[in-house]
């Protein structure tokens, strides 16, 4: 975590979030929420009324404002750049759109060696709207750290191969098994593209990065190690100046392999207790892991679960409080604010 001379990197030595990411135990337990910027907030829905998701991700002023909203409202200890995991694909010129109610839809699915060869590579300049948003945010955020992020190669590959969101990933897995050389070429391409995207964010000054492998949990550990780990590792190896968070859902049996791929902090979903998750990840600091569905329960239940998780996090080297997955659309934002306040009081 050396700061290079030319980087706008901030020190933020008082940040509890960055201290916990280094494995320290700050006085205040840091907390942020995956998808804290977005659909749960009325001020977000108002801003997005006439704007597509992709427009919002590629308009620096709008991205900055949406990223700031949950920091203002909830007092969380970190902002996460408002974006979508398919943004770097779109920026590279791959035909993909985010369709409301469906998710990312890919114009021409990628299934052959020729398809992979024809994929454009991302140049850092193509994500200038994102890095411009980072620059605006660094000024606006004051002492609050900014987390950059990217989707991991497997999750991106699944969108490209399936042509959109998929429950069973059957075409993706068929490609892995039937044409491993095509699969590895695709994954190597996406790893390069993802690393370029993350490096651009780091160079622009984000204080940490999170690699989201949303769908890694669809894989056995055996398949993750053969088909995914080397490529996620090649992304994470390229990130050296800021702490790296590595997260996926349903990854209870993959935490060791995901830690090996690279992580300073391992994200744990609600199915695995944080102390167990840390052990499986070779003793890493942990992030998580309140079940986002629990935020729909009553105040006392949410508080009890929060306290349990904080206690389990104390048995790991350090802990960044978060959900075990993203904020669900119908979540009451006041429940999030209350939870932040409770975490800070513990």
Q: Per the annotation, where are the binding residues?
A: 35-39, 84, 159, 214, 325
Tell me the sheet residues that pair with 74: none
How many Cβ atoms are within 10 Å of 271's Cβ, its own excluded?
15
Query: How far, in Å, are 7, 163, 212, 305 from residue 86 at the CA level?
Result: 26, 12, 12, 33
Determine if the peptide bond prior to 86 is cis (ω within 30°). Answer: no
Handedness of CA 242, 158, 169, 222 (dihedral sign): negative
Residue 99 φ/ψ, nearest 5 degrees: -95, 120
Angle at 17 between CA 11 and CA 20, to 5 degrees: 105
Among 174, 282, 307, 341, which residue interacts with a copy of itself (rule: CB under 8 A)?
174
C-alpha 313/C-alpha 8 separation (Å) is 32
| Among 65-73, 103-111, 137-145, 271-279, the segment contacting a copy of itself (CB under 8 A) | 271-279
Contact window for a copy of itself (CB under 8 A) among 3-11, 91-99, 232-240, 295-303 = 295-303
Based on the shown chain and the rule CB under 8 A, indicate whether residue 220 belongs to the binding site for a copy of itself: yes
| Binding of a copy of itself by 291 (CB under 8 A) | yes
Does residue 101 bind a copy of itself (CB under 8 A)? no
Q: Is 277 in the site for a copy of itself (CB under 8 A)?
A: no
Which window, 61-69, 74-82, 225-233, 286-294, contacts a copy of itself (CB under 8 A)?
A: 286-294
- Is 258 a residue that touches a copy of itself (CB under 8 A)? no
Q: Is 103 in the site for a copy of itself (CB under 8 A)?
A: no
Query: Helices (DSSP H) in 110-152: which residue ranges?
Result: 113-117, 128-141
Whole-number minimum distance, CB 275 to a copy of itself, in Å?
13
Q: Which two tokens stand for residue 160?
A: 């490209």
**Interface with a copy of itself (CB under 8 A):** 168-174, 176-178, 217, 219-222, 250, 252-253, 270-273, 291-294, 296-298, 301-302, 305, 328, 330
């Amino acid at each position: 975590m050396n700061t290079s001379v030319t980087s706008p990197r901030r020190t933020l030595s008082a940040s509890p979030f960055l201290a916990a990411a280094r494995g320290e135990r700050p006085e205040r337990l840091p907390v942020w929420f995956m998808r804290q910027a977005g659909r749960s907030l009325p001020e977000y829905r108002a801003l997005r009324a006439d704007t597509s998701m992709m427009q919002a991700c590629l308009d620096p002023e709008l991205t900055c404002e949406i990223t700031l909203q949950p920091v203002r409202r909830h007092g969380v200890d970190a902002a996460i750049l408002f974006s979508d995991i398919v943004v770097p694909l779109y920026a590279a010129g791959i035909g993909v759109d985010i369709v409301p109610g469906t998710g990312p839809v890919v114009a021409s699915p990628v299934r052959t060696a020729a398809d992979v060869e024809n994929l454009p590579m991302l140049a850092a300049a193509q994500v200038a709207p994102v890095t411009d948003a980072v620059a605006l945010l660094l000024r606006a955020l004051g002492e609050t750290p900014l987390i950059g992020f990217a989707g991991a190669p497997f999750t991106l590959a699944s969108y490209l191969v399936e042509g959109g969101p998929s429950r069973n990933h059957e075409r993706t897995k068929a490609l892995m098994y039937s044409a491993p050389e095509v699969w590895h070429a695709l994954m190597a391409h996406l790893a390069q593209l993802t690393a370029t995207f993350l490096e651009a964010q780091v160079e622009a000054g984000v204080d940490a990065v999170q690699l989201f492998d949303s769908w890694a949990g669809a894989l056995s550990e055996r398949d993750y190690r053969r088909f995914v780990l080397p490529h996620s590792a090649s992304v994470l190896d390229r990130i050296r100046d800021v702490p790296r968070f590595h997260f996926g859902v349903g990854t209870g049996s993959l935490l060791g392999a995901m830690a090996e791929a690279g992580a300073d902090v391992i994200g744990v979903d609600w199915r695995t207790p944080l102390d167990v998750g840390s052990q499986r990840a070779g003793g890493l600091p942990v992030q998580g892991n309140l079940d986002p569905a629990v935020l729909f329960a009553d105040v006392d239940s949410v508080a009890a679960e929060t306290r349990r998780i904080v206690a389990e996090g104390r048995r790991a080297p350090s802990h960044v409080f978060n959900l075990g997955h993203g904020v669900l659309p119908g979540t009451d934002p006041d429940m999030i604010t209350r939870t932040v306040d409770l975490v800070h009081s513990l």
